[in-house]
Amino acid sequence: MQTTSEKIEGMDVWLYHGQIYIPNTFSAGATGSRFLTTIRDKAKITGTRCKECNRVYVPARSVCKDCFAQLKEWVEVSDKGTVLSYTIDSEPKPIHPTDAPVIYGIIQLDGADTGFVHMIGGADPEQLRIGMRVQAVFKPKEERIGSVLDIKHFKPL
Amino acid sequence: MANKVAIVGIGQTYHKSNRPDVNMPEMVGEAVRAALEDADMNIKDIEATFHANMETFEGIYMPDHIMAAEMGGFGKPGLKVATGGTSGGSAVCEGFYMVASGLQDVVMVVGYEKQDCGDTTAAITAALVPSWSKGAATGAIGEFAKQALSYMETSGAKEEHAAMVRLKADKGACRNPYAHLKLGLTSIDQVLESGYLVWPLRFLDFCPQSCGACVLILASEEKAKKITKKPVWLADVEVVHQEPFRAGTFGDPTGTETYTQHVACENIYKRNGITNVRRDIDLAEIYEPSNWEEMNLYEHFHFCEKGEGWKLIEKGVTEMDGEFPVNPSGGVIATNPIGATPIIRVAEAALQIRGDAGEHQATRDVKTALASALGGPNWTTLALLKREM
């Protein structure tokens, strides 16, 4: 921790400059783990269906927020879908999974009732529009680790 | 005048060090469904949800954003509290205020901590003031080591007494299906032979880091009578905060500090006509991170005179079959999912009053019980529970 003494408005003020660091591990849990390992092992995108309201959640969720029903029924959805919205981030940042510019899209896969946030790749920014059709591009099997980034991106159809 | 508030549903998860099989919301959902099952209720009957979690302990900030679905809280009023160890106790107070005020009739109080996610000691250290606390930070363990030494010096208690408290706790934990550490201890020597965590606090003198959740459903008198034949009345609650002591947060070698436990219990005893604690209350579930602190709390809550806490354990007064049982559940030293811990105290006190504590049901009939929580720089929350009101 760095400390400084600064003259501020006539006072000699002692300042501590720190950075809080907390180690952290998050389990994807029972439902999230199955969703991710299915992408890894089978290159398939799955969701869970609510028996009460018939909604299909992608990514899979454990509980329907409207019905409080536990979602036990797994369904495979298409690797093709429709762009509901998108944005382009041109500023390189360490947290980005790829080099800038990164195109983030909300994609509703065919057979799903929810939007799935991922990247749109292999696309000319001029070409982007809401409603465009896209398809998942999976990384080769040997590179897939069980991450949502096992889907490299969605490419325009 | 406050409306009557009843506990009508109780649910908790089992507790252990690691739960990688579930994420935080899934773990909480287990306790929510258990409480709904206990009350034979539907989630649609719950009007609002109050939840407790010390988010920095998991390193997952604003956990509210992943909790609504599994808590059944979507589309409903809700608040999260994070007040250190008392978080769950503060959430019980929130639920109580809402029902007692008549603003809501049926609410859920949810507490959870999933300590396999983060580093609780690092997070406690991060919370401290850099000017004079952070450099000396030892998390909770160091604070309770200082408390143990102060208590030894000022009360005349021996390490054997602390070991007796641990044996009592373990006996309860071994009979409690939800408890985390079930060690099967048979002699005080086993405690005295355990190594030092932070001198003079031994490994078996302190609580574990648990993953778990606990849920209470609170209801107004009119609703409670429709929901259950065995309502437990939440007669009163109290919450008292303060800043760290000059001399020490949990143990005060100067003997001159006013503890929040004194303020809190004196307020709640006065409001409820309690003049002789062990006569007017039948059982207590207290928040004792260490066996030494349990003896200290006996004194703070006026279960006995100052300096005599260790005599209660020596005489067996606070055993499950004693005159005034304390923590027949095994307590915090056996199970500590922090955000859930104070709610477990209230839940266990309520189970004792209902007669539903099973293998760890106290021998004496429990009509009135006190539940406490401790956290932050020695903050206190209390709940007074009654079978008849």
Record the pTM: 0.95
| Contacts A68 to B, Cβ<8 Å | 43-44, 69, 72
A24–B22 CB contact, under 8 Å: no
Cβ(B277)–Cβ(B302) under 8 Å? yes
CATH number of B5-120+210-232: 3.40.47.10
B71 in Cβ contact with B79 (< 8 Å): no
Whether B119 and chain A come into contact, CB under 8 Å, resolves to: yes
**Neighboring chain A residues of B60 at a CB cutoff of 8 Å:** 24, 26
Selecting from A22, A28, A65 the residue whose C-beta is nearest the C-beta of B59 gives: A22
Confidence of residue A71 (pLDDT cuts 50, 70, 90): very high
Q: At what angle do helices B260-271 and B291-300 cross, to 10 degrees?
A: 50
Question: Which pLDDT score, from 0 to 100, does residue B247 have?
Answer: 55
- CB nearest A23 (choices: B59, B68, B75): B59
Q: What is the DSSP letter of B378?
A: T
Residues of chain B neighbouring A48 (CB-CB closer than 8 A)? none
Q: Which of A22, A28, A32 sits opposite B122 (nearest CB)?
A: A22
Query: Kind of pairing, strands A102-109 and A56-57?
Result: unpaired
Give the domain range for residue A132.
2-156
What whole-number distance in Å separates Cα of residue B115 and Cα of residue B237?
28
Are B115 and B209 spatial neighbours (Cβ–Cβ below 8 Å)?
yes
Does A22 contact B131 at a Cβ distance shorter than 8 Å? no
CA distance B96 to A70: 29
Task: State how far the Cα of B298 lies from the Cα of B286, in Å rounded to an integer.
Answer: 9
Structure confidence by residue, pLDDT tens digits, A57-68 = 999 999 999 999
Mean pLDDT taken over chain A: 94
State how far the Cα of B366 lies from the Cα of B349, in Å rounded to an integer: 9
Q: Nearest by CB to A25, from B70, B117, B134: name it.
A: B117
CB atoms within 10 A of CB B265: 25
A-chain residues near B53 (CB < 8 A) = none
Of B329, B334, B298, B326, nearest to B204 by C-alpha is: B334
Residue B120: closest C-alpha in chain A: A22
Cis preceding linkage at A101, omega within 30: yes
Q: Mean pLDDT, 10 residues at a time, over chain B (389 residues)?
A: 94 97 97 98 97 92 92 95 95 98 98 94 83 75 90 94 98 98 98 96 97 98 97 97 71 77 96 98 98 96 96 98 98 98 98 98 98 91 97
For chain A, positions 67-106, list CB contacts with chain B under 8 A: 68, 70
Please name the residue of chain A whose CA is at the shortest distance from the CA of residue B42: A68
**Residue B292's closest CA among B332, B258, B336?**
B332
The two tokens of residue B278 are 């062990």
On the question of pLDDT at A122 being above 60, the answer is yes
Encoded tokens for A94: 């360490």
CATH class of B135-207+233-386: alpha beta
Angle value at C-alpha B26, between B210 and A37, nearest 5 degrees = 110
Residues of A in contact with B68 (CB under 8 A): 65
Quote the pLDDT of residue B55. Answer: 87
Angle, in degrees to the nearest 10, between helices B159-175 and B291-300: 100
Sign of CA dihedral A8, A10, A12, A14: negative
- Of the candidates A22, A30, A65, which has its C-beta nearest B68's C-beta? A65
Put simply, whether A8 touches B (Cβ < 8 Å) is: no
Contact at CB, B122 and A21, closer than 8 angstroms? yes
Would you place residue A20 in the very low, low, confident or very high pLDDT band (cuts 50, 70, 90)? confident
The closest CB to that of B118, out of A22, A29, A65, belongs to A22
Closest CA to B66 of B114, B33, B109, B105: B114
* Count, residues in chain A: 157
Q: Which helix (H) or strand (E) segment is B339 a member of? A: none
A72-94 tens-digit pLDDT: 999 999 999 999 999 999 998 88
State how far residue B8 is from chain A, nearest Cα, in angstroms: 20
Dist. CA B316–CA B297, nearest whole Å: 16
Q: Any CB–CB contact under 8 A between A23 and chain B? A: yes
A113's tokens:
């009732």
Chain A residues lying within 8 Å of B134, measured CB to CB: 1
Phi, psi of B46 (to 5 degrees): -85, 125
User: Inter-chain contact B70–A66, Cβ cutoff 8 Å?
Assistant: no
Burial class of residue B253 (count of CB atoms within 10 Å of its CB; 0-12, 13-18, 19+):
middle
- Best B65, B74, B112 member to test A by mutation, with max A CBs in 10 Å, is B74
B271 in contact with A at a CB cutoff of 8 Å?
no
Chain B: residue whose CA lies nearest to A65: B69
Strand A56-57: give its sheet, edge to edge.
A56-57, A45-49, A73-77
Pairing of β A11-17 and β A2-8? antiparallel
**Closest Cα of chain B to A145: distance in Å?**
18
Residue in chain A lying closest to B126 (CA): A20
Give the pLDDT confidence score for residue B262 in this predicted structure.
92
| B78 CB within 8 Å of a chain A CB | no
CA B130 to chain CA mean position, Å: 29
State the pLDDT at residue B161.
Answer: 98
- The total domain count for chain A is 1
Kindly determine whether residue A14 and residue B131, on different chains, have CB atoms separated by under 8 Å: yes
**At a CB cut-off of 8 Å and minimum separation 6, what does A14 contact?**
A3, A4, A5, B131
* Inter-chain residue contact B59 with A21, CB threshold 8 Å: no
User: Is residue A21 within 8 angstroms of chain B, CB to CB?
Assistant: yes
Q: Which of B43, B117, B119 sits opposite A26 (nearest CB)?
A: B117
Q: Does A19 touch chain B (CB under 8 A)?
A: no
- Yes or no, beta carbons of B22 and A20 under 8 Å apart: no
Q: Identical fold at B5-120+210-232 and B135-207+233-386?
A: yes
Domain boundaries, chain B: 5-120+210-232, 135-207+233-386
